[in-house]
Amino acid sequence: MISQILVTRSSALTGAVLVSLVVAGPVRAQTSPASALTGYVSLQQESAMEGVLVSAKRAGSTITTTVISNAQGHYSFPRDRLEPGTYSLSIRAIGYELPARGPVQVEVGTQQTATLDLNLVKTKNLARQLSNGEWLQSFPGAEARKEALYRCVNCHTLERVANSLHDAPEMAQVVQRMSTWAQGSMPIHPQPQLGRSIGAPRPAEAALGQYISTINLSGGERSYPLKTDPRPTGKATRVIITEYDLPRPIAMPHDVQIDPRGTIWYSDFGSEIVGHLDPKTGKATEYPIPVMKPGAPAGSLDVRLDRDGMVWIGSMMQGSLVKFDPKTEKFQSWGAPDFLKRNEARIAMVMPEQTHLDGKVWIGAEDEYQVDIATTPERFAISMRAAGISVVNIANNHTFDAEERGFLDTLRALSLAGIGHVGGGMDLADARKPVIVERNSIKIGILGYTQFNNFGESVFAAEGRPGIVPMDPFLIKEDIRKLRPQVDYVMVAIHWATSRSAEVSPPNRAFAHELIDAGADVILGHHPPHPKGIEVYHGKVILYAPSNVLRGHNGPALDDGYLARFTLGPKAVEKIEVLPIIGKGQPQGHTGPYDSKLFQPALMQGANAQKLLEDLRNRSAALDTAMTIDGEKGVITVSQASK
């Protein structure tokens, strides 16, 4: 009977490997032609040694195969596990080592069985061989004291702790500093955890530092004996272990799954990577997972396969559920609720096995919940993300049409899709937070507000109450002032009423100038269903209303609109391109089904585009701003328009 177990192992010194363990029946005799390499392991001038791990790696290969010596000290590599070539042999037997430094070489042929006996000697440095488990057994003190060391092994071995020379006060500082690193760190790849900083040790950290000073070498010689686990015996020696090197030295394979074709999929605890490996050839292929939360620690934990062969990943401190399609090699991501705003947001475990039945993926994170990927609003938010929308202003008069539950569902759907939002949140402080995006090394900060809503004061955010942000001049100016030093551009999105006609009312224009004078670079106005002119004021840009270009209109009086494409220089807006968009309502008296094209924004062409551009040019001229028409788009050159 043969069974197989797949596990992972990573090391900051040896790189990372996937490990396959095969439990087999009795090993064939030494003379069997089925053996590619065989021999005996013994201690010099003593008896044969059972339970010694003998590892063989062919020159140029990424695969290491390990067998274990039996009660007679005999080891044997099956013929189908070693291809012909030059192999390096190494051993692991706690307390013992090969006489010569480094591995020994042996040639394995195509037909003849190669033989190599291994004579071991006692090691002169037992501490170098101890596993983390053996260090924990060796350390003196109560189990409760040792438990604090469990977190250390997320990033490094306990050998570093045991061989350190820091006294209690110094070690307390080390412990505090180590607490600022994320779990998916290693000595050659540290990752700071959001919201943590180096500072004075807390009492618990000082206590741990004091304990470590009693088990390390700060006092000179080690004050306790080193304890080791026994070597395998009997049935435990009837195994074959296969290790696969991964391409990157900082790889930290965590979970693995085998698909129906036998391909091994693995997650990486320290990098935004998902990979698969061919166990026959050892070839590994890796795919970078899109970063959903820049600045947060990278790395994934769980990896699962659904019935359709899709790969699902829990992207830990990135706070995201990730789906990977092996056929198209495309990713989709859903962020945890408010994951961009919470340092502790994480997704560890995922369960997509029944997604084909109900469209839901269960999540194990700081809270347990499910992601409904088959229904709106999640699917709509995903479509928005796929269309290139990365930030939205949710402050408008329709935000609470589905009451507070609908508002909270909207926040969650946007977060799951990885779309940043402004203008609303779990309370006023949260709702006022900006979203900062970076494009081509230019940082853009975005704020959102609304002048009115359909449900009164109760839906405006307050302390302890979810809601949207009112168009309060004091709040807006304060938010601009706080955001201004952090970014190159401040954009303020406002849902406001600039009159029902195509003209801009004097009060609205004066208020827009007031916000520009307060430090805003761009005002993005919206709500009126008629496209209004664009104004360049002191080199800054005000879009008073582009009309509702992403809405299926249901009224014949509603107008077409436009999208604005900005060219941003290092210091100032250089150009605005005005792209006419079809947005007319249903014809007067229309009683049939909606025209589906009204729900799909499309660029206008021909005479209709020219008419809209001419209207916008005239409306912008009334705001002292010049716009030229270039084919089927309008162009405003800021330096010329603002003379």
Residue 11 has pLDDT above 50, yes or no: no
CA distance 203 to 188: 29
| pLDDT tens digits, one per residue of 439-498 | 999 999 999 999 989 888 999 999 989 999 999 999 999 999 999 999 999 999 999 986
pLDDT at 383: 81
Residue 371 has pLDDT above 80, yes or no: no
* Block residue for tokens 């290969």: 61
When comparing pLDDT for 81 and 14, which is higher?
81
When comparing pLDDT for 345 and 480, which is higher?
480
Q: By C-alpha distance, which of 295, 347, 453, 318 is closest to 431?
A: 453
Residue 641 has pLDDT above 80, yes or no: no
Residue 517 has pLDDT above 70, yes or no: yes
Q: Which regions of 429-504 does DSSP assign to beta strands (E)?
A: 435-439, 442-450, 467-468, 489-495
User: Please, what's the b/e burial string for 492-525 (b: 16 or more CB within 10 A of its CB; e: otherwise)?
Assistant: bbbbbebbeebbbeeebbebbbebbebbbbbbbb
* Degrees, nearest 5: CA angle 238-239-243: 160
Q: Mean of the per-residue pLDDT values for the chain?
A: 87
pLDDT at 7: 54
Looking from the CA of 37 toward its CB, the CA atoms found within 13 Å total 28
pLDDT at 293: 86
Residue 519 has pLDDT above 80, yes or no: yes
Please name the fold of domain 253-372.
Methylamine Dehydrogenase; Chain H (2.130.10)
Residue 38 has pLDDT above 80, yes or no: yes
| Nearby residues of 60 by Cβ (< 8 Å), 6 or more positions away | 85
| pLDDT tens digits, one per residue of 622-639 | 999 999 999 999 999 997
Helix axes 378-386, 403-417, angle to 10 degrees: 40
The mean pLDDT value for 304-313 works out to 94
What is the band of 409 on the pLDDT scale with cuts at 50, 70, 90?
confident
* Degrees, nearest 5: CA angle 564-569-574: 50
The mean pLDDT value for 526-554 works out to 84
Two tokens, residue 563: 């999208």
- Domain 26-124+229-237 belongs to what architecture? Sandwich (2.60)
pLDDT at 28: 41
Residue 15 has pLDDT above 70, yes or no: no
Residue 150 has pLDDT above 50, yes or no: yes
* Range with lowest mean pLDDT among 108-112, 392-396, 406-410: 406-410
CA distance 322 to 290: 9
> Cα–Cα distances in Å, from 101 out to 85, 224, 305, 350, 467?
22, 28, 44, 45, 68
> Cα–Cα distances in Å, from 352 out to 307, 308, 417?
9, 10, 17
* Range with lowest mean pLDDT among 118-122, 326-330, 552-556: 552-556
Residues of the chain with CATH 2.60.40.1120: 26-124+229-237
Q: By C-alpha distance, which of 643, 623, 611 is closest to 543?
A: 623
pLDDT at 534: 96
pLDDT at 3: 46
Task: Confirm if 231 and 52 have CB atoms less than 8 A apart.
Answer: yes
Residues of the chain with CATH 2.130.10.10: 253-372
State what percent of residues in the chain have pLDDT above 90. 65
Helix axes 473-483, 506-517, angle to 10 degrees: 30
State what percent of residues in the chain have pLDDT above 70. 87
> Cα–Cα distances in Å, from 449 out to 34, 83, 372, 419, 529?
76, 68, 29, 18, 18
**Residue 608: Cβ-neighbour burial (10 angstroms; 0-12, 13-18, 19+):** middle
Residue 525 has pLDDT above 90, yes or no: yes
